[in-house]
Structure 1
Amino acid sequence: MLRLTPVLACCALLAAACATADARQTAGGALTAGLAQPVSCLDPHQTPQTQNLNVSRQLVDSLTDQDPRTGEIVPWLATSWKVDKQAKRFTFTLRDGVTFNDGAPLDAATVVANLDDIVKLGARSPLGSGYLAGYAGASALDAKTVEVRFDAPSAQFLQATSMVTLGMLSPGTLRKTPEQRCAGGIAGSGPYVLGRVALNEEVRLSARTGYAWASALAANRGVPRVRELTFAIVTDPSARHGSLLSGQLDADLQVLQQDQRSFGDRGPRLLSATRPGIVYTLLPNESRPALRDPSVRRAIGAALDRSKFTPLLAAGERPATDVLATTTPGYKDRSAGLAYAPGEAARLLDAAGWRRGPDGVRAKGSQRLSFDLVYSASEPYGSLYQLMAQQLAEAGIELRPTPLDDATNSARQGSGDYDFVSWAVTRGDPTVLASVYPVKSANPLRRTRPDEVDSTIARIATVLDPAERARAVDAAAEAILSGGHGIPLFEQASSIGLAERVTGVRLDASGRPIFQDAEVRA
Structure 2
Amino acid sequence: MSRHVPLPARLRAGRPPLRALAAAVLVALLAACSSSGGSGDEASSSASSSDAPVAGGTYVHALEADPLGCLDAPQQRFHVALNITRQLADSLVDQDPETGKIVPWLAKSWEISDDAKTFTFHLVDGATFSDGKPVDAAAVKANLDRIVALGAKAIGAGPWIQGYQSTEAVDPSTAVVTFDRPNVQFLQALSGSWFGLISPADTGKSPEELCKGTYAGSGPFTLESYTKDQDAVLLKRTGYDWPSSLAAHKGEAYLDKLQFTFVPEASVRSGTLTSGQVQSISLVTWQDEEPLKAAGDTLLTARQPGLTESWIPNQQSWLADDEPVRQAIRYAINSQEIVDTVYGPTYRSRTAPLNSTTPGYVDLSSELPYDQAKAAKLLEDDGWKLGADGIRVKDGKRLSLNVIASYTDLELIQQQLKAVGIEYKIRQLDPAAASKATIAGDYDIYAWTMTRADPTVLNALFSSDWTSLGYAKANPSELDDLLATQESTVDPDERAAAAAEVQKYIVERAWLIPIVDRAWTYGTGPTSHGLRLDGETKLVFYDAWIGK
Does the Cα contact within 8 Å between 1:494 and 1:512 map onto a contact in 2?
no
CA distance, structure 2, for counterparts of residue 414 and residue 511 of structure 1: 29
Q: 3-state SS of the aligned residue for 2:418?
A: helix
CA distance, structure 2, for counterparts of residue 185 and residue 213 of structure 1: 22
Q: Which moved more, 1:100-109 or 1:405-414?
A: 405-414
User: Structure 1, residues 377-431: CA drift from partner, whole Å, max 9, x if none?
Assistant: xxxx33x111000000001111122222333233333433223221111111111
Aligned to 1:17: none
Match of 2:95 among 47, 66, 69: 66
The one-letter amino acid of 2:260's match is: F
Unaligned runs of 5+ residues in structure 2 are 1-53
**2:543 counterpart of 1:517:** yes
User: Structure 1, residues 358-378: CA drift from partner, whole Å, max 9, x if none?
Assistant: 2111121222111232235xx
User: Structure 1, residues 20-79: CA drift from partner, whole Å, max 9, x if none?
Assistant: xxxxxx951111111112211211111111111111111110000000111111100000
Q: 3-state SS of the aligned residue for 1:476?
A: helix
CA distance, structure 2, for counterparts of residue 410 and residue 319 of structure 1: 29
**2:384 counterpart of 1:357:** no
**2:307 counterpart of 1:278:** yes
Aligned to 1:471: 497
Match of 1:118 among 113, 130, 147: 147
User: Structure 1, residues 126-183: CA drift from partner, whole Å, max 9, x if none?
Assistant: 3422211222221111111000112222211111111111111111221111111122
Match of 1:90 among 104, 114, 119: 119
Does the Cα contact within 8 Å between 2:319 and 2:444 map onto a contact in 1?
no
Q: 3-state SS of the aligned residue for 2:120?
A: strand
Aligned to 2:513: 487
CA distance, structure 2, for counterparts of residue 107 and residue 346 of structure 1: 61
Does the Cα contact within 8 Å between 1:369 and 1:398 map onto a contact in 2?
yes
**2:428 counterpart of 1:399:** no
**2:207 counterpart of 1:178:** yes
The one-letter amino acid of 1:229's match is: L
Q: 3-state SS of the aligned residue for 2:61?
A: strand
Aligned to 1:444: 471
**CA positional deviation for 1:266:** 7.7
The one-letter amino acid of 1:136's match is: Q
User: Structure 1, residues 277-328: CA drift from partner, whole Å, max 9, x if none?
Assistant: 1111111222222454222112111100001112312773222211111111
Aligned to 2:249: 220
The 1:111–1:455 alpha-carbon spacing in structure 2 relative to 1, beyond 3 Å, is: same
Aligned to 2:191: 162
**2:133 counterpart of 1:108:** no
The 1:224–1:494 alpha-carbon spacing in structure 2 relative to 1, beyond 3 Å, is: farther
The one-letter amino acid of 1:444's match is: Y
Q: May I ask how many residue pairs the two structures share in their alignment?
A: 491
CA distance, structure 2, for counterparts of residue 500 and residue 71 of structure 1: 29
CA distance, structure 1, for counterparts of residue 239 and residue 199 of structure 2: 17
Higher strand share: 1
CA distance, structure 2, for counterparts of residue 414 and residue 252 of structure 1: 34
The one-letter amino acid of 2:380's match is: D
Match of 2:356 among 326, 341, 346: 326
**CA positional deviation for 1:508:** 0.7
Does the Cα contact within 8 Å between 1:280 and 1:490 map onto a contact in 2?
yes
Aligned to 2:459: 434
CA distance, structure 1, for counterparts of residue 421 and residue 151 of structure 2: 40
Q: 3-state SS of the aligned residue for 1:401?
A: coil
Aligned to 1:31: 59
The one-letter amino acid of 2:525's match is: A
User: Structure 1, residues 335-361: CA drift from partner, whole Å, max 9, x if none?
Assistant: 111110112212221222211112111
The 1:150–1:406 alpha-carbon spacing in structure 2 relative to 1, beyond 3 Å, is: closer
Q: TM-score normalised to the size of structure 2?
A: 0.86
CA distance, structure 2, for counterparts of residue 364 and residue 187 of structure 1: 59
Match of 2:342 among 305, 312, 315: 312
User: Structure 1, residues 212-244: CA drift from partner, whole Å, max 9, x if none?
Assistant: 111000012221112211111111111111111
Does the Cα contact within 8 Å between 1:314 and 1:495 map onto a contact in 2?
no
CA distance, structure 2, for counterparts of residue 421 and residue 519 of structure 1: 41
Does the Cα contact within 8 Å between 1:156 and 1:461 map onto a contact in 2?
yes
The 1:512–1:186 alpha-carbon spacing in structure 2 relative to 1, beyond 3 Å, is: same
**2:107 counterpart of 1:81:** no
Does the Cα contact within 8 Å between 1:354 and 1:363 map onto a contact in 2?
yes
Aligned to 1:8: none
Does the Cα contact within 8 Å between 1:254 and 1:314 map onto a contact in 2?
no
CA distance, structure 2, for counterparts of residue 221 and residue 433 of structure 1: 37
Aligned to 2:529: 503
CA distance, structure 1, for counterparts of residue 352 and residue 216 of structure 2: 38
**2:443 counterpart of 1:418:** yes
**2:278 counterpart of 1:249:** yes
CA distance, structure 2, for counterparts of residue 420 and residue 180 of structure 1: 33
Q: Which moved more, 1:126-135 or 1:507-516?
A: 126-135
Unaligned runs of 5+ residues in structure 1 are 1-25
Q: 3-state SS of the aligned residue for 2:308?
A: strand
The one-letter amino acid of 2:531's match is: V
User: Structure 1, residues 442-500: CA drift from partner, whole Å, max 9, x if none?
Assistant: 110223x2112222112112111121111101110011112211111122223110011
Q: 3-state SS of the aligned residue for 1:102?
A: coil
CA distance, structure 2, for counterparts of residue 32 and residue 105 of structure 1: 30
CA distance, structure 2, for counterparts of residue 428 and residue 412 of structure 1: 28
Aligned to 1:373: 403
Task: Report the aligned-residue RMSD.
Answer: 1.7
**CA positional deviation for 1:245:** 0.9
Aligned to 1:16: none
The one-letter amino acid of 1:424's match is: T
